[in-house]
Amino acid sequence: MMILLTAATIAAIANIASAQFNYSFPDCANGPLKSTVVCDTSKDPATRARALIQMFTDEELTQNTDNVSPGVPRLGVPSYQWWSEALHGVAGSPGVSFASSGEFSSATSFPQPIVLGATFDMDLVKAIATVISTEARAFNNAGRAGLDFFTPNINPFKDPRWGRGQETPGEDAFHVAQYVFNLINGLQGGIDPRPYFKVAADCKHFAAYDLESWEGIDRFHFDAKVTLQDLSEYYLPSFQSCVRDAKVASVMCSYNSVNGVPACASSYLLQDILRDFWGFDDDRWVVSDCDAINNIFSTHNFTSSFTEAVADAIKAGTDVDCGTTYSKNLPAALNQSLITRDDLERALTRQYTSLMRLGYFDPPASQPFRQLAWTDVNTPGAQALAHRAAVEGLVLLKNDGFLPISSKGKKLAIIGPYVNATRDMQGNYFGTAPFIVTPFQGAVDAGFQVQSSSGTNINGTSDAGFEEAINIAQAADIVIFAGGLDNTIEREARDRVTVAWTGNQLDLIKQLASVGKPIVVVQFGGGQVDDTELLSNDAVRAIIWAGYPGQSGGTAIFDIITGAVSPAGRLPITQYPANFVDQVGMTDMSLRPDSANPGRTYKWYSGAPVLEFGHGLHFTTFEFSWQMQPPARYNIQQLIRSAGKNGPLDLAAFDTFPIRVRNTGNLTSDYVALLFLSGDGGPTPRPNKSLISFARAHGIKAGSSSTLDLKVTLGSVARADERGDLWLFSGSYQLVLDIGDGVLTHNFVLMGTDTRIVRWPQDPSA
Mean of pLDDT values over 550-567: 98
Mean of pLDDT values over 430-437: 98
Which amino acid, one-letter code, is at 516?
A: G
Backbone angles phi, psi at 34, to 5 degrees: -60, -30
Distance from C-alpha of 184 to C-alpha of 188, rounded to nearest angstrom: 6
DSSP state of 161: T
pLDDT for position 271: 98
Mean of pLDDT values over 435-463: 97
In order of 97, 309, 355, the CA distances from 285 in angstroms are 24, 19, 11
With left for phi above 0 and alpha for psi between -120 and 50, is residue 507 left, alpha or beta? alpha
- Tell me the percentage of the chain whose pLDDT exceeds 70: 97
* Sheet architecture: strand order including 285-288: 202-206, 250-253, 285-288
Q: Has residue 488 got a pLDDT over 80?
A: yes
| Span 304-338, pLDDT tens digits | 999 999 999 999 999 999 999 999 999 999 999 99
Q: Has residue 185 got a pLDDT over 50?
A: yes
Distance from C-alpha of 664 to C-alpha of 642, rounded to nearest angstrom: 39
| Closest to 526 (Cα-Cα) out of 550, 505, 543 | 550
Distance from C-alpha of 747 to C-alpha of 239, rounded to nearest angstrom: 32
pLDDT for position 764: 87
Q: Has residue 389 got a pLDDT over 80?
A: yes
Contact of 717 with 201, CB cutoff 8 Å: no
Contact of 680 with 596, CB cutoff 8 Å: no
Contact of 706 with 696, CB cutoff 8 Å: no
- Mean per-residue pLDDT of the chain: 96
In order of 324, 504, 528, 604, the CA distances from 580 in angstroms are 40, 21, 12, 13
| Span 215-248, pLDDT tens digits | 999 999 999 999 999 999 999 999 999 999 999 9
- Other Cβ atoms within 10 Å of 368 Cβ, number: 12
| Span 678-731, pLDDT tens digits | 999 999 999 999 999 999 999 999 999 999 999 999 999 999 999 999 999 999
pLDDT for position 8: 41
Distance from C-alpha of 155 to C-alpha of 235, rounded to nearest angstrom: 7
- Taken in order 50, 56, 61, 64, is the CA torsion positive or negative? negative
Q: Give the ranges where 562-712 is alpha helix by DSSP (H).
A: 601-604, 636-643
- Residues with catalytic annotation? 289
* Sheet architecture: strand order including 395-399: 395-399, 540-547, 519-524, 478-484, 411-415, 449-453
Give the DSSP H/E element, type plus range, for residue 327.
helix 325-335
| Span 498-546, pLDDT tens digits | 999 999 999 999 999 999 999 999 999 999 999 999 999 999 999 999 9
Instruction: Write the DSSP string, 10-55.
Output: HHHHHHHHHSPP------TTTSTTTTSGGG-TTS-HHHHHHHHHTT
Contact of 581 with 161, CB cutoff 8 Å: yes
- Tell me the percentage of the chain whose pLDDT exceeds 90: 95
Contact of 345 with 55, CB cutoff 8 Å: no
Q: Has residue 11 got a pLDDT over 60?
A: no
pLDDT for position 20: 63
Which amino acid, one-letter code, is at 193?
A: P
In order of 108, 278, 469, 508, the CA distances from 515 in angstroms are 40, 60, 11, 11
SS3 string of 519-573? EEEEEECCCCCCCHHHHHCCCEEEEEEEECCCCCHHHHHHHHHCCCCCCCCCCCC
| Closest to 601 (Cα-Cα) out of 125, 176, 112 | 176
Q: Is the peptide bond before 118 cis (omega within 30 degrees of 0)?
A: no
Per-residue pLDDT band for 14 (boundaries 50, 70, 90) equals very low
